């Protein structure tokens, strides 16, 4: 289902299929307003996410002021460097509506550690956002997201839940 671009909404741009599964799992939480969020096709790598953001999504963010964009990537053990690599491409006029989240390595170790499917992990992450909890979000592979997740929740919680 597509979102109404003239109403507040969130697009999620996943790096790969594993991240797409987590994002789709987020949609399984009963509290999520499905009309206000759309998971896009996986880009095929973190560099392709960055390229797509720069060449396609900045224009969309400018055209649709109610749009928010989550870039869902693997940090591949390069947390601060990878984050900085993205942040330098976030234009000042849209930076407050762009969010960079992902596992500190890759989703598969998180799946193994939790003993759940990636979709189940996404659903639990959504429930924690709705309830302002930080249990799974505090997992060693996700804890680096806590400040960004708080910023995201402050901006889009009322849109998503």
Domain ranges in the chain are: 9-160
* CATH 3.40.50 for domain 9-160: yes
The count of other CB atoms within 10 Å of the CB of residue 150 is 14
Q: 2-13: buried (b, 16+ CB within 10 Å) or exposed (e) per residue?
A: ebeeeebbbbbb
How far apart (Å, rounded) are the C-alpha atoms in residues 37 and 4?
9
Backbone phi, psi, residue 157, to 5°: -55, -45
Q: Which uninterrupted H or E stretch holds 37?
A: strand 37-39
Per-residue pLDDT of the chain (161 residues; tens, 9 = 90+): 689 999 999 999 999 999 999 999 999 999 999 999 999 999 999 999 999 999 999 999 999 999 999 999 999 999 899 999 999 999 999 999 999 999 999 999 999 999 999 999 999 999 999 999 999 999 999 999 999 999 999 999 999 99
> What is the rounded radius of gyration, in angstroms, for the C-alpha atoms of the chain?
14
Look up residue 12 and give its two tokens. 């999620």
Look up residue 73 and give its two tokens. 């990537």
| pTM of this structure | 0.95
CB neighbours of 20 closer than 8 A, spacing ≥ 6?
14, 39, 41, 42
């Amino acid at each position: 289902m597509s979102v109404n671009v003239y109403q507040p909404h969130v697009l999620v741009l996943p790096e790969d299929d594993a991240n797409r599964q987590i994002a789709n799992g987020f949609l399984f939480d009963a509290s999520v307003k499905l009309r206000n969020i759309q998971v896009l096709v996986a880009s095929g790598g973190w560099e392709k996410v960055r390229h797509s953001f720069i060449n396609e999504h900045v224009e969309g963010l400018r055209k649709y002021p109610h749009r928010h964009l989550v870039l869902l990537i693997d940090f591949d053990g390069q947390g601060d460097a990878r984050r900085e690599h993205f942040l330098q491409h976030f234009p000042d006029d849209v930076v407050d509506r762009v969010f960079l989240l992902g596992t500190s390595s890759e989703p598969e170790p998180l799946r193994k550690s939790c003993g759940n499917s990636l979709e189940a992990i996404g659903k639990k992450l959504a429930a924690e956002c709705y309830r302002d909890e930080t249990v799974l979000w505090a997992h060693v592979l996700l804890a680096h997201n806590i400040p960004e997740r708080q910023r995201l929740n402050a901006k889009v919680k009322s849109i998503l839940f």
